[in-house]
Amino acid sequence: MRIRRDRSGRRRRFSGRVHAPSGLSLTSLMDILTCLLFFVLKSFVAGGESTVPPPGLTLPSSTADHAQTTSLVVAVQKDAIYVSGERIASVSEVLGEDGMVIGPLAQRAEAARDQMDQLAVQRGGKPVESRLVTIQGDSDIEFRVLRKVMYTLDQSGFPDIALAVLKKA
Amino acid sequence: MSVRSRGRSSRHVVDCDLELRPLMNVFIVLIPMLLMSAVFMEIRVIEMSAPQAAATASTQPEQPALHLALHVRGDSYVLTGTGIPAAEFGRDAAARTGRLDAATSARLTEALARIVAAHPEDHEIRIVAESRTRYQEIVTLMDLARNAGLSDAALEGSMEDA
Protein backbone atom coordinates (compact mmCIF):
# COMPACT_ATOMS: atom_id res chain seq x y z
CA MET A 1 0.00 0.00 0.00
CA ARG A 2 2.80 2.32 0.95
CA ILE A 3 4.74 1.44 -2.17
CA ARG A 4 1.79 2.28 -4.38
CA ARG A 5 1.39 5.70 -2.76
CA ASP A 6 5.09 6.42 -3.31
CA ARG A 7 4.86 5.51 -7.01
CA SER A 8 1.79 7.64 -7.62
CA GLY A 9 3.46 10.55 -5.90
CA ARG A 10 6.56 10.16 -8.07
CA ARG A 11 4.39 10.01 -11.17
CA ARG A 12 2.70 13.26 -10.18
CA ARG A 13 6.03 14.97 -9.57
CA PHE A 14 7.50 13.95 -12.95
CA SER A 15 4.35 14.48 -14.97
CA GLY A 16 4.98 18.18 -15.33
CA ARG A 17 8.50 17.75 -16.64
CA VAL A 18 8.50 14.82 -19.06
CA HIS A 19 6.94 15.38 -22.50
CA ALA A 20 6.41 12.15 -24.41
CA PRO A 21 6.45 12.55 -28.23
CA SER A 22 2.91 12.70 -29.43
CA GLY A 23 3.34 11.38 -33.08
CA LEU A 24 4.34 7.88 -34.19
CA SER A 25 7.97 7.68 -35.37
CA LEU A 26 7.85 6.13 -38.82
CA THR A 27 11.45 6.67 -39.86
CA SER A 28 12.74 3.21 -38.90
CA LEU A 29 9.73 1.54 -40.53
CA MET A 30 10.39 3.57 -43.66
CA ASP A 31 13.98 2.28 -43.67
CA ILE A 32 12.76 -1.31 -43.52
CA LEU A 33 10.22 -0.75 -46.28
CA THR A 34 12.79 0.95 -48.49
CA CYS A 35 15.21 -1.99 -48.10
CA LEU A 36 12.38 -4.42 -48.82
CA LEU A 37 11.31 -2.51 -51.91
CA PHE A 38 14.82 -2.57 -53.40
CA PHE A 39 15.20 -6.27 -52.59
CA VAL A 40 11.93 -7.12 -54.33
CA LEU A 41 12.80 -5.00 -57.35
CA LYS A 42 16.19 -6.71 -57.60
CA SER A 43 14.60 -10.17 -57.40
CA PHE A 44 12.62 -9.64 -60.57
CA VAL A 45 13.49 -11.84 -63.52
CA ALA A 46 15.21 -9.55 -65.99
CA GLY A 47 14.17 -11.43 -69.09
CA GLY A 48 10.53 -10.48 -68.98
CA GLU A 49 7.29 -12.29 -68.53
CA SER A 50 7.74 -14.80 -71.35
CA THR A 51 10.74 -16.39 -69.62
CA VAL A 52 8.62 -17.45 -66.66
CA PRO A 53 7.40 -21.03 -67.17
CA PRO A 54 3.62 -21.34 -67.53
CA PRO A 55 1.65 -22.62 -64.54
CA GLY A 56 1.71 -26.38 -64.18
CA LEU A 57 5.06 -26.81 -65.88
CA THR A 58 7.84 -28.24 -63.69
CA LEU A 59 11.27 -27.60 -65.10
CA PRO A 60 13.91 -30.29 -64.56
CA SER A 61 16.48 -29.52 -61.89
CA SER A 62 20.10 -29.23 -62.91
CA THR A 63 23.50 -28.02 -61.81
CA ALA A 64 23.85 -25.88 -64.97
CA ASP A 65 24.96 -22.33 -64.33
CA HIS A 66 24.41 -20.49 -67.62
CA ALA A 67 22.15 -17.46 -67.26
CA GLN A 68 19.29 -17.30 -69.73
CA THR A 69 19.20 -14.64 -72.39
CA THR A 70 16.33 -13.10 -74.32
CA SER A 71 15.11 -15.48 -76.99
CA LEU A 72 12.09 -17.17 -78.50
CA VAL A 73 10.55 -19.34 -75.77
CA VAL A 74 8.87 -22.68 -76.50
CA ALA A 75 7.16 -24.34 -73.54
CA VAL A 76 6.48 -28.08 -73.77
CA GLN A 77 3.95 -29.19 -71.18
CA LYS A 78 2.73 -32.74 -70.65
CA ASP A 79 -0.32 -32.08 -72.83
CA ALA A 80 0.47 -29.13 -75.10
CA ILE A 81 3.15 -27.02 -76.75
CA TYR A 82 3.18 -23.23 -76.33
CA VAL A 83 5.14 -20.56 -78.19
CA SER A 84 5.53 -17.29 -76.29
CA GLY A 85 2.59 -18.25 -74.11
CA GLU A 86 0.21 -19.20 -76.95
CA ARG A 87 -0.92 -22.83 -77.32
CA ILE A 88 -0.09 -24.11 -80.78
CA ALA A 89 -0.39 -27.91 -80.66
CA SER A 90 -1.32 -30.75 -78.36
CA VAL A 91 1.24 -33.42 -77.49
CA SER A 92 -1.12 -36.23 -78.53
CA GLU A 93 -1.43 -34.70 -82.03
CA VAL A 94 2.33 -34.32 -82.25
CA LEU A 95 2.90 -37.95 -81.28
CA GLY A 96 0.21 -39.06 -83.71
CA GLU A 97 2.01 -37.55 -86.69
CA ASP A 98 4.57 -39.68 -88.50
CA GLY A 99 7.03 -37.01 -89.58
CA MET A 100 9.62 -35.30 -87.41
CA VAL A 101 8.44 -31.74 -88.18
CA ILE A 102 5.61 -30.26 -86.09
CA GLY A 103 3.70 -28.11 -88.61
CA PRO A 104 2.20 -25.37 -86.39
CA LEU A 105 5.46 -25.02 -84.45
CA ALA A 106 7.43 -24.68 -87.69
CA GLN A 107 5.05 -21.95 -88.90
CA ARG A 108 5.37 -19.99 -85.68
CA ALA A 109 9.14 -20.39 -85.55
CA GLU A 110 9.51 -19.26 -89.17
CA ALA A 111 7.30 -16.22 -88.50
CA ALA A 112 9.44 -15.36 -85.46
CA ARG A 113 12.60 -15.83 -87.54
CA ASP A 114 11.31 -13.47 -90.25
CA GLN A 115 10.34 -10.93 -87.62
CA MET A 116 13.83 -11.08 -86.10
CA ASP A 117 15.39 -10.61 -89.54
CA GLN A 118 13.14 -7.65 -90.33
CA LEU A 119 14.01 -6.01 -87.03
CA ALA A 120 17.71 -6.54 -87.66
CA VAL A 121 17.43 -5.00 -91.16
CA GLN A 122 15.43 -2.04 -89.84
CA ARG A 123 18.19 -1.41 -87.33
CA GLY A 124 20.64 -1.27 -90.20
CA GLY A 125 22.23 -4.66 -89.72
CA LYS A 126 22.21 -7.94 -91.58
CA PRO A 127 19.66 -10.69 -90.96
CA VAL A 128 20.55 -12.67 -87.87
CA GLU A 129 22.55 -15.80 -88.66
CA SER A 130 22.46 -17.49 -85.29
CA ARG A 131 19.12 -17.51 -83.52
CA LEU A 132 18.57 -18.83 -80.04
CA VAL A 133 15.47 -20.59 -78.81
CA THR A 134 14.82 -21.56 -75.21
CA ILE A 135 12.85 -24.75 -74.56
CA GLN A 136 11.00 -24.92 -71.27
CA GLY A 137 10.19 -28.61 -71.06
CA ASP A 138 8.31 -30.31 -68.26
CA SER A 139 10.56 -32.73 -66.39
CA ASP A 140 8.20 -35.63 -67.17
CA ILE A 141 7.93 -35.25 -70.96
CA GLU A 142 9.36 -38.04 -73.07
CA PHE A 143 12.35 -37.70 -75.34
CA ARG A 144 10.28 -38.44 -78.47
CA VAL A 145 8.36 -35.16 -77.91
CA LEU A 146 11.48 -33.18 -77.14
CA ARG A 147 13.27 -34.62 -80.18
CA LYS A 148 10.49 -33.52 -82.54
CA VAL A 149 10.40 -30.04 -81.01
CA MET A 150 14.17 -29.65 -81.28
CA TYR A 151 14.27 -30.99 -84.82
CA THR A 152 11.45 -28.65 -85.94
CA LEU A 153 13.16 -25.63 -84.39
CA ASP A 154 16.47 -26.56 -86.00
CA GLN A 155 14.80 -26.88 -89.40
CA SER A 156 12.95 -23.57 -88.92
CA GLY A 157 16.09 -21.52 -88.50
CA PHE A 158 16.84 -21.86 -84.79
CA PRO A 159 19.98 -24.00 -84.60
CA ASP A 160 21.02 -22.76 -81.15
CA ILE A 161 18.92 -24.37 -78.46
CA ALA A 162 18.94 -23.66 -74.73
CA LEU A 163 17.15 -26.00 -72.34
CA ALA A 164 15.67 -24.11 -69.40
CA VAL A 165 16.26 -25.79 -66.04
CA LEU A 166 15.83 -24.98 -62.39
CA LYS A 167 19.10 -24.49 -60.60
CA LYS A 168 19.63 -27.03 -57.84
CA ALA A 169 20.05 -25.48 -54.42
CA MET B 1 12.41 17.31 -34.34
CA SER B 2 10.32 20.27 -33.43
CA VAL B 3 11.31 23.91 -33.12
CA ARG B 4 9.60 25.88 -30.50
CA SER B 5 9.83 29.62 -30.92
CA ARG B 6 8.80 31.88 -28.14
CA GLY B 7 8.01 35.44 -29.05
CA ARG B 8 7.06 38.15 -26.68
CA SER B 9 3.48 38.27 -27.85
CA SER B 10 2.84 34.95 -29.55
CA ARG B 11 3.90 31.38 -29.00
CA HIS B 12 3.73 28.88 -31.87
CA VAL B 13 5.22 25.47 -32.48
CA VAL B 14 6.67 24.62 -35.91
CA ASP B 15 6.68 20.88 -36.63
CA CYS B 16 9.66 20.06 -38.88
CA ASP B 17 9.04 16.29 -39.13
CA LEU B 18 8.73 14.92 -42.65
CA GLU B 19 5.25 13.84 -43.58
CA LEU B 20 5.98 10.18 -44.24
CA ARG B 21 2.52 8.73 -44.11
CA PRO B 22 1.60 9.20 -47.80
CA LEU B 23 4.91 7.62 -48.80
CA MET B 24 4.27 4.79 -46.35
CA ASN B 25 0.89 4.19 -47.92
CA VAL B 26 2.45 3.96 -51.37
CA PHE B 27 5.09 1.52 -50.11
CA ILE B 28 2.55 -0.66 -48.35
CA VAL B 29 0.59 -1.02 -51.58
CA LEU B 30 3.67 -1.40 -53.78
CA ILE B 31 5.49 -4.10 -51.80
CA PRO B 32 2.70 -6.74 -51.72
CA MET B 33 2.05 -6.07 -55.42
CA LEU B 34 5.72 -6.66 -56.27
CA LEU B 35 5.95 -9.70 -53.99
CA MET B 36 2.93 -11.28 -55.68
CA SER B 37 4.31 -10.76 -59.17
CA ALA B 38 7.94 -11.59 -58.40
CA VAL B 39 9.55 -14.85 -59.48
CA PHE B 40 12.01 -16.30 -57.03
CA MET B 41 12.94 -19.38 -59.07
CA GLU B 42 16.49 -19.41 -60.32
CA ILE B 43 16.21 -20.43 -63.97
CA ARG B 44 19.35 -21.46 -65.81
CA VAL B 45 19.91 -22.90 -69.28
CA ILE B 46 21.88 -25.74 -70.82
CA GLU B 47 23.15 -24.71 -74.23
CA MET B 48 23.33 -27.56 -76.68
CA SER B 49 23.00 -28.69 -80.26
CA ALA B 50 19.92 -30.22 -81.83
CA PRO B 51 19.61 -34.03 -81.87
CA GLN B 52 20.93 -35.74 -84.94
CA ALA B 53 18.58 -38.08 -86.76
CA ALA B 54 19.90 -41.61 -86.36
CA ALA B 55 19.50 -42.32 -90.06
CA THR B 56 21.79 -39.45 -91.06
CA ALA B 57 24.43 -40.18 -88.44
CA SER B 58 26.78 -41.75 -90.96
CA THR B 59 26.73 -38.64 -93.20
CA GLN B 60 27.85 -36.29 -90.42
CA PRO B 61 31.21 -34.55 -90.72
CA GLU B 62 34.21 -35.95 -88.95
CA GLN B 63 33.53 -36.72 -85.30
CA PRO B 64 36.07 -36.35 -82.54
CA ALA B 65 38.39 -39.32 -82.21
CA LEU B 66 36.87 -40.71 -79.03
CA HIS B 67 33.23 -40.91 -80.23
CA LEU B 68 32.14 -41.08 -76.63
CA ALA B 69 28.48 -41.97 -76.26
CA LEU B 70 26.22 -42.77 -73.34
CA HIS B 71 23.37 -44.99 -74.51
CA VAL B 72 20.16 -45.18 -72.51
CA ARG B 73 18.77 -48.71 -72.88
CA GLY B 74 15.78 -50.40 -71.30
CA ASP B 75 17.42 -51.41 -68.04
CA SER B 76 20.97 -50.14 -68.39
CA TYR B 77 23.27 -47.32 -69.45
CA VAL B 78 26.04 -48.29 -71.84
CA LEU B 79 29.11 -46.12 -72.17
CA THR B 80 30.94 -46.60 -75.46
CA GLY B 81 33.84 -44.95 -77.25
CA THR B 82 36.65 -45.64 -79.66
CA GLY B 83 39.42 -47.50 -77.89
CA ILE B 84 37.61 -47.86 -74.59
CA PRO B 85 35.81 -51.00 -73.45
CA ALA B 86 32.04 -50.66 -73.28
CA ALA B 87 30.84 -50.27 -69.71
CA GLU B 88 27.33 -51.08 -68.51
CA PHE B 89 25.51 -49.58 -65.54
CA GLY B 90 22.17 -50.59 -64.06
CA ARG B 91 19.16 -48.36 -64.71
CA ASP B 92 16.41 -49.90 -62.60
CA ALA B 93 15.48 -46.84 -60.53
CA ALA B 94 15.67 -44.39 -63.42
CA ALA B 95 13.62 -46.65 -65.68
CA ARG B 96 10.83 -46.66 -63.10
CA THR B 97 10.92 -43.08 -61.80
CA GLY B 98 12.94 -41.11 -64.35
CA ARG B 99 15.42 -40.19 -61.59
CA LEU B 100 18.90 -41.67 -61.20
CA ASP B 101 19.76 -43.14 -57.83
CA ALA B 102 22.86 -41.91 -56.00
CA ALA B 103 24.88 -45.11 -56.48
CA THR B 104 24.40 -45.18 -60.26
CA SER B 105 25.17 -41.45 -60.49
CA ALA B 106 28.39 -41.95 -58.55
CA ARG B 107 29.50 -44.90 -60.69
CA LEU B 108 28.73 -43.07 -63.94
CA THR B 109 30.54 -39.92 -62.79
CA GLU B 110 33.56 -41.98 -61.79
CA ALA B 111 33.66 -43.79 -65.15
CA LEU B 112 33.30 -40.54 -67.10
CA ALA B 113 35.96 -38.82 -65.01
CA ARG B 114 38.37 -41.70 -65.70
CA ILE B 115 37.78 -41.33 -69.45
CA VAL B 116 38.26 -37.54 -69.26
CA ALA B 117 41.50 -38.03 -67.35
CA ALA B 118 42.76 -40.40 -70.05
CA HIS B 119 41.56 -38.15 -72.94
CA PRO B 120 41.77 -34.56 -71.68
CA GLU B 121 41.44 -33.11 -75.19
CA ASP B 122 37.94 -34.52 -75.70
CA HIS B 123 34.99 -32.64 -74.27
CA GLU B 124 32.19 -34.10 -76.35
CA ILE B 125 29.69 -36.76 -75.47
CA ARG B 126 26.54 -37.95 -77.20
CA ILE B 127 23.62 -38.95 -75.05
CA VAL B 128 21.66 -41.50 -77.04
CA ALA B 129 18.22 -41.61 -75.50
CA GLU B 130 15.24 -43.87 -76.12
CA SER B 131 11.84 -42.52 -77.14
CA ARG B 132 10.39 -42.98 -73.67
CA THR B 133 13.35 -41.57 -71.73
CA ARG B 134 12.19 -38.84 -69.40
CA TYR B 135 13.50 -35.30 -69.83
CA GLN B 136 14.68 -35.12 -66.21
CA GLU B 137 16.81 -38.24 -66.71
CA ILE B 138 18.42 -36.72 -69.82
CA VAL B 139 19.19 -33.48 -67.97
CA THR B 140 20.69 -35.46 -65.07
CA LEU B 141 22.92 -37.42 -67.47
CA MET B 142 24.05 -34.15 -69.05
CA ASP B 143 24.84 -32.81 -65.57
CA LEU B 144 26.92 -35.89 -64.76
CA ALA B 145 28.85 -35.52 -68.03
CA ARG B 146 29.45 -31.82 -67.45
CA ASN B 147 30.59 -32.39 -63.87
CA ALA B 148 33.04 -35.00 -65.13
CA GLY B 149 34.51 -32.45 -67.57
CA LEU B 150 32.56 -33.23 -70.75
CA SER B 151 31.15 -29.79 -71.34
CA ASP B 152 29.80 -30.35 -74.86
CA ALA B 153 26.86 -32.75 -74.73
CA ALA B 154 24.69 -33.55 -77.74
CA LEU B 155 21.38 -35.38 -77.78
CA GLU B 156 20.64 -38.17 -80.19
CA GLY B 157 17.82 -40.61 -80.79
CA SER B 158 18.66 -44.31 -80.67
CA MET B 159 18.74 -46.37 -83.88
CA GLU B 160 15.86 -48.54 -82.66
CA ASP B 161 13.58 -45.49 -82.66
CA ALA B 162 14.57 -44.23 -86.11
Q: Is residue B106 part of a domain?
A: yes
Our count of domains for chain B comes to 2
* Structural domain includes residue B43: no
| Domain co-membership, B99 together with B121 | yes
Cα–Cα distance measured from residue B23 to residue B59, given in angstroms and rounded to the nearest whole number? 68
Residue at A132: amino acid letter: L
Residue A81 belongs to what domain range? 55-167
Whether residue B105 sits in one domain with residue B33: no
Within a domain: A39: no
Per-residue pLDDT tens digits for A100-136:
899 999 999 999 988 888 888 888 777 676 788 999 9
Tell me, yes or no, whether B115 and B155 share the same domain.
yes
Q: Which of residues 31-50 of A touch B (CB under 8 A)?
A: 33-34, 36-37, 40-41, 43-45
3-class state of residue A169 by DSSP: coil
The number of distinct structural domains making up chain A is 1
A28: distance to nearest CA of chain B, Å? 11
Cβ-contact B133, B70 below 8 angstroms = no
pLDDT in tens, A72-101: 899 999 999 999 888 999 999 999 888 889
Whether A84 maps to a domain, the answer reads yes
**Residue B91 falls inside a structural domain:** yes
Pick the residue of A143, A146, A147, A155 with the most B CBs within 10 A to test the interface with B by mutation.
A143
Q: Are B111 and B78 members of one domain?
A: yes
Containing structural domain, residue B120: 49-161
Contact, A161 vs A73, CB < 8 A?
no
Residues B70 and B93 in one domain: yes
**pLDDT score recorded for residue B160:** 60
Please report which residue ranges of B8-149 form alpha helices under DSSP H.
21-37, 92-97, 102-118, 135-148
The answer on B74 and B153 residing in a single domain is yes
Is residue A43 assigned to a domain?
no
Decide if B42 is inside a domain. Answer: no
Whether ipTM exceeds 0.95: no
Are residue B56 and residue B112 in the same domain, yes or no?
A: yes
* Residue A162 placed within a domain: yes
State the nearest Cα–Cα gap between A129 and chain B, in angstroms: 15
Whether residue B106 sits in one domain with residue B67: yes
SS3 B133: coil
Q: Assign residue B129 the CATH number of its domain.
A: 3.30.420
Alpha-carbon distances of A108 from A56, A74, A145, A162, rounded to whole Å: 23, 10, 17, 18
pLDDT tens, per residue, chain B with 162 residues: 444 544 555 567 676 667 778 888 888 888 888 777 766 677 888 887 655 554 444 445 555 578 899 999 888 899 998 888 888 888 887 777 778 888 888 999 999 999 999 888 888 899 999 999 999 999 999 999 999 988 888 888 876 665
**Distance of alpha carbon B97 from alpha carbon A63, whole angstroms:** 20
* Residue A66 belongs to a domain: yes
- Please provide the distance, in angstroms rounded to a whole number, between the alpha carbons at the two ends of chain A: 63
